[in-house]
């Protein structure tokens, strides 16, 4: 007999034995579930009866204080409804009863109040026979029916609290009623956690319907002990389901135990196959598949095992070959890693790797050159952090960059000023990212910086050339004003010579001539200041004052047919170079003048403050918690075509005729504004005009700003001899 046949016979015998045990266990669990369900149903009925009893007692408790109240006794004697309005009427508004009624000792209705939302309660009266059937010391609760409404009522006799002689003779009766309408049943269902239905026909007493596994029917009897209605309570008991699931779990666990036991029996019988297993063990120890070759001729499970062992040895040879290939791959990876390190060290961009706290871990050769450090080991030995390499005024900006990195935001092309070992600072363009481990947790930070020194020098030269180009236009207007000033001087001198006999009048004329000379000198001074070459002098300044100083220069370079309107609504501080901001204003004013030729128009310059969150969508670099200065320069000219708006800030792009401009004006304006961490936008409608909006971050004045006024050597008045 084959081994499988022997095992099958043994399995059948054990299965019969365990089947009998399993049937007995299943029957016990079913009976246990039935007993639990009956016990649960009885407990629920007891709970519902107790809740109804509590509600009836609560109504009687509310009547106890009212029945002996001074106001109630006074009302019975004097029949003044205002004496009980606070006591009786509040039961409807505050507690939520449906009706309140007060009767005298003979059962005549003296006062009633009812819920307006329940129709028909105003007509309901308590039967006169009720008082005749009860004692004078009446205090009880009962149910009654009015039309199609079931009323839960409580009545108590009224006694004067201090009148001992009248303790057995009630002054009257006070009754409160609660209508079992839809609202009351909904509230009751929520309180009891049941679905409740009311029926005036006796329902079927089946215990399980639909999705509910508990149904309780409770009758409501009236004063005459006849059934007024029936309440049906439906509820799904989750514990019954859990108990059923627990029973199933135990049953399946028992089945699993039986299965495990049978498997154990199966493996114990494997003693019949000790000899084949010995051959298999010997073959595996010696690594020789020929030892189990004789098992291949047998038609049993060991033939399959022998085949698997042969496959194992074949796979072993393949695994050895795979290990050799992996070794070669690892050697290649080490070679690539070494090449990557060489690329890192020799990269033309500065690369700095830090831990999550900003402590420098490694740098490349370009970083050492920029920082004028001797070696990477020297930086690491000093425990330097990335913040130590940035000038103090830029560290807040670096801190915001780090916050953006940890928030998962993209940090790219942020301008920072670094400080070398010798103390010199240089501007750099910084991009940063977070290095993650295999579990996607942040481990290191990497900063890639590009030295902007040469680009800054080229940009400075470009701005200077643009200034010189603007001076040509500026000089023409100033020359016109200067000619007028000279004419005024000559006129007043002529007048003074004709009035030499009157010394006071001559002095007045000479004073006017002196004022004209001062105007000329002021204009020439502005030209010299504007054209002076040098590094940008970025300092805390009042942008409104820069605009006011620039307005005379703007007035000089544009014709009088163009009117200038200003609206300065902020004196906030910002960090700018006054000369560069004058260049920005002059460039925008010149463009506006060209757009309003030949008919002229209105040039409007306004300044106000705005919050950072108002600039959402303009640029991702906007700091929402900061305050910005909004500088607007608008004109009423011809406007810009929509297809050209995206190119107006490109270098050497111009819509002017040949010889009227270089195409660098707006590009320089964009560069200046961006250098101050500001933003510039443009809005234009053809035929209506163009508006340039510049947003610069506000700052607090670090020290009082005092304008230094140069001492001018003005000619003094000489007495006329």
Report how far residue 364's alpha carbon sits from residue 385's, in angstroms, rounded to the nearest whole number. 15
pLDDT tens digits for 9-49?
777 777 777 777 777 777 777 777 777 777 777 877 888 88
3-state helix vs strand vs coil in the chain, percent to 5: 50, 20, 25
Q: Please, are residues 418 and 363 in contact by the beta-carbon 8 Å criterion?
A: no
Report how far residue 514's alpha carbon sits from residue 397's, in angstroms, rounded to the nearest whole number. 51
Q: Please, are residues 546 and 539 in contact by the beta-carbon 8 Å criterion?
A: no
Q: What is the DSSP string of 86-132?
A: TTTTHIIIII--SEEEEEETTS-EEEEEE-TTSTTGGG----HHHHH
Close Cβ partners of 437 (under 8 Å, ≥ 6 residues apart): 443
Calculated CA dihedral for residues 544, 549, 550, 552, nearest 10 degrees: 130
| pLDDT for 167 | 53
Q: Please, are residues 603 and 550 in contact by the beta-carbon 8 Å criterion?
A: no
This prediction has a pTM of: 0.34
pLDDT tens digits for 265-300?
666 665 556 666 677 777 777 777 777 676 766 666
Report how far residue 532's alpha carbon sits from residue 460's, in angstroms, rounded to the nearest whole number. 12
| pLDDT for 164 | 41
For domain 347-451, the question of CATH label 3.30.450.20 is answered with yes
Q: Which CATH architecture has domain 31-238?
A: 2-Layer Sandwich (3.30)
Pick among 3.30.565.10, 3.40.140.10, 3.60.20.10, 3.40.50.970: CATH of 536-703? 3.30.565.10
Q: Which two tokens stand for residue 353?
A: 């790797």
Map 643-669 to HEC letters. Answer: HHHHHCCCCCCCCCCCCCCCCCHHHHH
Report how far residue 214's alpha carbon sits from residue 91's, in angstroms, rounded to the nearest whole number. 35
Report how far residue 439's alpha carbon sits from residue 374's, in angstroms, rounded to the nearest whole number. 36
Q: Which two tokens stand for residue 721?
A: 């001899």
Q: Please, are residues 143 and 155 in contact by the beta-carbon 8 Å criterion?
A: no
The 3-state DSSP class for residue 613 equals helix
| pLDDT for 609 | 94
Q: With a cut of 50, list the residues of the chain below it in pLDDT.
A: 163-166, 528, 531, 533-534, 704-721
| pLDDT for 706 | 46
């Amino acid at each position: 007999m084959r081994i499988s046949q022997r095992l099958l016979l043994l399995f059948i015998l054990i299965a019969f034995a365990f089947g009998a045990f399993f049937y007995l266990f299943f029957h016990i669990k079913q009976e246990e579930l039935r007993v639990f369900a009956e016990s649960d149903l009885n407990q629920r009925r007891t709970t519902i009866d107790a809740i109804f009893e509590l509600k009836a007692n609560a109504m009687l408790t509310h009547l106890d204080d009212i029945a002996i109240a001074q106001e109630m006794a006074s009302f019975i004697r004097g029949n003044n409804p205002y004496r009980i309005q606070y006591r009786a009427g509040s039961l409807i508004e505050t507690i939520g009863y449906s009706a309140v009624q007060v009767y005298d000792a003979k059962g005549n209705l003296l006062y009633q109040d009812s819920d307006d939302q329940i129709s028909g309660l105003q007509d309901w009266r308590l039967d006169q026979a009720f008082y005749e059937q009860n004692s004078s010391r009446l205090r009880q609760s009962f149910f009654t029916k009015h039309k199609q409404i079931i009323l839960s009522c409580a009545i108590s006799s009224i006694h004067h609290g201090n009148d001992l002689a009248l303790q057995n003779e009630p002054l009257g009766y006070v009754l409160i009623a609660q209508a079992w309408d839809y609202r009351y049943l909904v509230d009751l269902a929520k309180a009891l956690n049941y679905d409740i239905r009311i029926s005036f026909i006796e329902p079927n007493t089946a215990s399980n319907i639909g999705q509910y596994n508990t149904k309780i029917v409770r009758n409501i009897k009236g004063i005459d002990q006849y059934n007024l209605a029936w309440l049906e309570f439906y509820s799904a008991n989750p514990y019954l389901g859990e108990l059923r699931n627990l029973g199933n779990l135990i049953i399946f666990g028992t089945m699993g135990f039986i299965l495990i036991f049978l498997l154990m029996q199966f493996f114990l019988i494997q003693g019949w196959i000790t000899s084949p297993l010995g051959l298999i063990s010997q073959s595996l120890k010696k690594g020789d598949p020929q030892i189990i070759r004789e098992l291949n001729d047998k038609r049993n499970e060991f033939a399959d095992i022998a085949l698997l062992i042969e496959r194992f040895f074949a796979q072993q040879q393949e695994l050895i070959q795979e290990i050799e290939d992996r070794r070669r791959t690892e050697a290649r990876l080490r070679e690539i890693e070494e090449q990557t390190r060489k690329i890192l060290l020799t990269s033309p961009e500065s690369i700095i790797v830090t831990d999550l706290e900003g402590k420098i871990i490694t740098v490349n050769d370009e970083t050492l050159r920029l920082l004028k450090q001797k070696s990477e080991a020297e930086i690491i030995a000093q425990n330097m952090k990335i913040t130590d390499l940035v000038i103090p005024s830029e560290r807040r900006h670096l801190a915001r960059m780090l916050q953006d990195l940890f928030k998962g935001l993209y940090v790219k092309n942020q301008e920072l000023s670094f400080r070398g070992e010798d103390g010199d600072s240089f501007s750099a363009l910084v991009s940063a990212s977070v290095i993650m481990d295999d579990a996607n947790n942040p481990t290191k930070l990497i900063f890639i910086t590009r030295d902007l020194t040469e680009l800054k020098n080229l940009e400075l030269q470009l701005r200077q050339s643009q200034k010189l180009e603007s001076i040509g236009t500026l000089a023409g207007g100033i020359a016109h004003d200067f000619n007028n000033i000279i004419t005024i001087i000559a006129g007043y001198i002529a007048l003074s010579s004709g009035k030499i006999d009157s010394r006071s009048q001559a002095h007045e004329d000479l004073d006017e001539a002196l004022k004209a000379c001062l105007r000329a000198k002021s204009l020439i001074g502005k030209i010299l200041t504007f054209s002076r070459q040098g590094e940008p002098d970025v300092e805390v300044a009042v942008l409104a004052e820069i605009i006011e100083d620039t307005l005379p220069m703007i007035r000089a370079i544009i014709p009088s047919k163009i009117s200038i309107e200003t609206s300065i609504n902020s004196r906030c501080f910002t960090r700018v170079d006054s000369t560069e901001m004058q260049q920005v204003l002059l460039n925008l004013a010149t463009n506006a003048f060209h757009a309003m030729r030949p008919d002229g128009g209105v040039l409007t310059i306004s300044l106000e403050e705005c919050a950072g969150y108002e600039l959402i969508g303009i640029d991702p670099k906007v700091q929402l918690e900061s305050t910005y200065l909004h500088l607007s320069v608008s004109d009423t000219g011809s406007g810009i075509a929509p297809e050209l708006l995206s190119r107006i800030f490109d270098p050497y792009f111009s819509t002017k005729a040949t010889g009227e401009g270089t195409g660098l004006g707006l590009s320089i304006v964009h560069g200046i504004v961006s250098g101050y961490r500001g933003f510039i936008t443009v809005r234009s409608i053809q035929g209506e005009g163009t508006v340039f909006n510049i947003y610069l971050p506000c700052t607090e004045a670090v020290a009082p700003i005092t304008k230094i006024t140069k001492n001018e050597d003005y000619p003094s008045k000489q007495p006329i001899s």
